[in-house]
Amino acid sequence: MAAGLWDTHTHLQDESFAGDLEEVAARARGRGVERMVLVGVDEGDFARIPAVLARLAGSVAALGIHPLRLCGDDARADPAAAAARLAEAAAEAARRLRPAAIGEIGLDAAAGSEEAQARLFRSQLALARELDVPALFHCRRRFGELVGILRRDGLPRRGAIYHAFSGSREMAEELMALGVRLGLGGALTYGNAARLRALVAGLPLAALVVETDCPDLAPEPHRGERNEPAYLAEIFAALCRLRAEGEDAVAEALARTCEAMFEAAHG
Ligand SMILES: [Zn+2]
């Protein structure tokens, strides 16, 4: 393969990788997956990620507070205060640790107060603009609100990724019009995803990136196992089967996109 693959969404700081991180990284390299984005979701991750990153040559970090972190008891008692405190914690960690992206951040129908979620999301979106790094979005059943905020506030100059995309053509077009790239994961390999595959076959390659979201959401034929970056090869193969460009050209386009988003920001 011409260009190494980037796994644009991993949680390799998860304790399920604590015992075999080096083997996981070696299996990934063996399948052409050379760079990983470690994505943080809470303050515990901000503390864990630097040491894990030091064991993974060529990988980069994203730091953000996930909207589901607004589900704790303190957040339920006073959502506005919790959102303000978490936004401050994200800003402090990002200014200190200089991540290559802010994420994962966003909106989730299961996360309680919509006002508090919007406040936390917008403040981290502003942080990505301030640090001139891309943003990584998590969105579950709040698409209209997410797009409304992006239209009003604007994206970071280096753009953004809508992680775990499995939506409609209309959603893909709205995101692309805003300059948001679509993160394709295990869903692309699932038997019931014919509509997603038909959509992805016709989208501009420059709008796409690939991701595992490990340790969750393993692709076929590993469904139900712990997911890991090596399995990105299955997602990449599923993408290549849909495209006319050929494997090398797909790999090169994906690498170019990721270098422009993450590398310039980091280096
Ligand atoms: Zn994730």
| Domain spans, the chain | 5-266
pLDDT digits (tens, 9 = 90+) for 91-109: 999 999 999 999 999 999 9
- C-alpha of residue 84 to centroid of ligand 1, in Å: 22
Mean pLDDT value across residues 158-186: 97
Q: Are 30 and 5 in contact (CB under 8 A)?
A: no
Distance 8 CA to ligand 1 centre (A): 10
For the chain, what percent of residues have pLDDT higher than 90? 93
Q: How far is the CA of 24 from the centre of ligand 1 (A)?
A: 18
Distance 9 CA to ligand 1 centre (A): 6
pLDDT at res. 264: 67
pLDDT digits (tens, 9 = 90+) for 188-239: 999 999 999 999 999 999 999 999 999 999 999 999 999 999 999 999 999 9
Query: b or e along 181-204 (b: 16 or more beta carbons within 10 Å of the residue's beta carbon)?
Result: bbbbbbbbbbeebeebbebbeebe
Cα 105 to ligand 1 centroid, rounded to whole Å: 10
Give the Å distance between the CA of 103 and the centre of ligand 1.
9
- Band the pLDDT of 1: cuts 50, 70, 90: low
How far is ligand 1, taken at its centre, from the CA of residue 43, in Å? 15
Centroid of ligand 1 to alpha carbon of 240 (angstroms): 23
Please give the distance, rounded to the nearest whole angstrom, from the Cα atom of residue 195 to the centre of ligand 1.
23
CA-to-CA distance for 184 and 243, rounded, in angstroms? 14
Q: What is the pLDDT of residue 74?
A: 81
- The second-level CATH assignment, the architecture, of 5-266 is Alpha-Beta Barrel (3.20)
Q: What are the residues whose beta carbons fall under 8 Å from the beta carbon of 47, sequence distance 6 or more?
A: none
Give the Cα-Cα-Cα angle 262, 106, 88 (nearest 5 degrees): 80
- Ligand 1 midpoint to CA 217 (Å): 10
Alpha carbon of 213 to ligand 1 centroid (Å): 5
Task: Calculate how far, in angstroms, residue 262's C-alpha sits from the geometric centre of ligand 1.
Answer: 17
- C-alpha 267 – ligand 1 centre gap (Å): 24
pLDDT at 267 over 70: no
Q: What is d(CA 42, CA 137) in angstroms, rounded to the nearest whole number?
A: 14
Question: How remote is the CA of residue 264 from the centroid of ligand 1, in Å?
Answer: 23
- Whether the pLDDT of residue 35 is over 80: the answer is yes
pLDDT over threshold 70, residue 187: yes
Of 264, 59, 255, nearest to 158 (Cα)? Answer: 264
